[in-house]
Amino acid sequence: MKSIESLRYFITTVKQGSFSAAAEQLNVAVSSISRHVQQLEKEFNSQLLIRHTRRLSLTETGQHVYRQGMVICAQLDQLAEEVALHQQRVQGHVKISAPLWYGTHYIAPLLPVLQQQWPQLTIYLNYGEEALDPYGADYDIYIRIEDYSDSAFIARPLQHIEYWACASADYLATAAPIHQPVDLKQHQLLAQNFRNISTQWYFEQTQPDIKTKQKIELNSAWLSSNSSLALLEAALQNGGVVLLPHHMVITAINEKKLIRILNQYTVSPFNTAHSMALVYTKDKTQDLKTKIVIDHLLSQLGQ
């Protein structure tokens, strides 16, 4: 086919029902519409439209060209959008706010791919728990635990975080045995502080037809911190029992620097089904550079 433009004129004419309506829609002369339709009929060597006094109708060939032409034009439009996106110079600054432990172990490893694909895109990853302000626009993307019902925000759930309780071998060798969660009351505990989250550990065990749940208060914890990395270091130095995302402790456990305890239980610092969420204001989806970062993070971390 020599002229996709003629095919588009033909499709518009069919949709609008007349040459004059199509000309008005495309902001061209009626003679231009007629010329393109004649060009298409010449190319197919077949009449496509039956011209009545007040309306147009399609021949059998015209119906086929219209149906297939709609598919072809839609595919061409999609291709043009994809090419335009790849050619577009995505540049600018995107600011992300995330808790230290999550940003370090989950967000940071995913960012170099973005830099390789979009060299002029720069990212600031801030480790903090600042309150979300849809009007302050301090950050483009937030990673948070809390649920948000504010209509100004979109909150996309991220994958569930599995927590493990563990301690160093040297600590466990000199401390009281730990067979069940209640035994932790006799131990040195290392507690992570979450903003607006209760300071307890919840242990759940599922047996045939029975589900038991126990909680351990952290009021007696000798060390508490909002930095999970600080707590990890304290645990490695025989400071006591710590509860951290398994992603943070798996290497130390494999290297025998830490030992996982109470692994017959599912354990969490949250009493409800809290999960991490990627939070942003609705207008951020209209900003290409921010949308690219959002889509990338969700493709790797989203549920």
Q: What is the pLDDT of residue 255?
A: 95
Q: Please answer whether residues 72 and 10 qualify as being in contact, where contact means their C-beta atoms are separated by less than 8 angstroms.
A: no
Cα atoms in the 13 Å half-sphere on the side-chain side of 4: 8
Q: Do 80 and 100 belong to one domain?
A: no
Q: Do 196 and 246 belong to one domain?
A: yes
Q: Do 54 and 12 belong to one domain?
A: yes
Residue (of 193, 196, 195, 214) closest to 204 by Cα position? 214
Q: Do 137 and 229 belong to one domain?
A: no
Q: What is the pLDDT of residue 253?
A: 95
Q: Do 178 and 253 belong to one domain?
A: yes
Q: Domain ends where: 59, 87, 115?
A: 87
How many structural domains are present in the chain?
3
Q: Would strands 189-192 and 241-245 be described as parallel, antiparallel, or unpaired?
A: parallel
Q: Do 77 and 206 belong to one domain?
A: no
Q: What is the pLDDT of residue 52?
A: 75
CA gap 260, 108 in Å, rounded: 26
Q: Do 96 and 180 belong to one domain?
A: no
Q: What is the pLDDT of residue 76?
A: 85
CA gap 265, 14 in Å, rounded: 67
Q: Do 250 and 200 belong to one domain?
A: yes
Q: Domain ends where: 38, 55, 87?
A: 87
CA distances from 70 to 94, 157, 216, 244 (A): 39, 37, 64, 55
Q: How many angstroms separate the first and last alpha carbons of the chain?
A: 45
Domain ranges, residue 14: 4-87
CA gap 245, 268 in Å, rounded: 9
Residue (of 188, 204, 179, 203) closest to 241 by Cα position? 188
Question: What is residue 140's DSSP assignment?
Answer: S
CA distances from 215 to 30, 68, 75, 149, 298 (A): 78, 64, 57, 28, 32
Q: Do 176 and 256 belong to one domain?
A: yes
Q: Do 30 and 111 belong to one domain?
A: no
Question: What is residue 256's DSSP assignment?
Answer: T
Q: Do 181 and 154 belong to one domain?
A: no
Q: Do 28 and 54 belong to one domain?
A: yes
CA gap 98, 116 in Å, rounded: 22
What are the strands, taking DSSP E only, across 60-162? Answer: 92-98, 121-127, 141-144, 153-157
pLDDT tens for the chain, 303 residues: list them: 567 888 889 888 888 888 888 888 888 888 888 898 898 888 889 898 887 767 788 889 989 988 898 888 888 877 776 676 666 667 789 999 888 888 888 899 999 999 888 888 899 998 876 666 655 557 889 888 765 666 778 888 888 888 999 999 999 999 999 999 999 999 999 998 776 555 889 898 866 666 778 888 888 899 988 888 899 999 999 999 999 988 889 999 999 999 999 988 989 887 766 578 898 888 787 788 888 999 999 999 987
For residue 9, the domain's CATH number is 1.10.10.10
Q: What is the pLDDT of residue 138?
A: 76
Chain centroid to CA 63 = 43
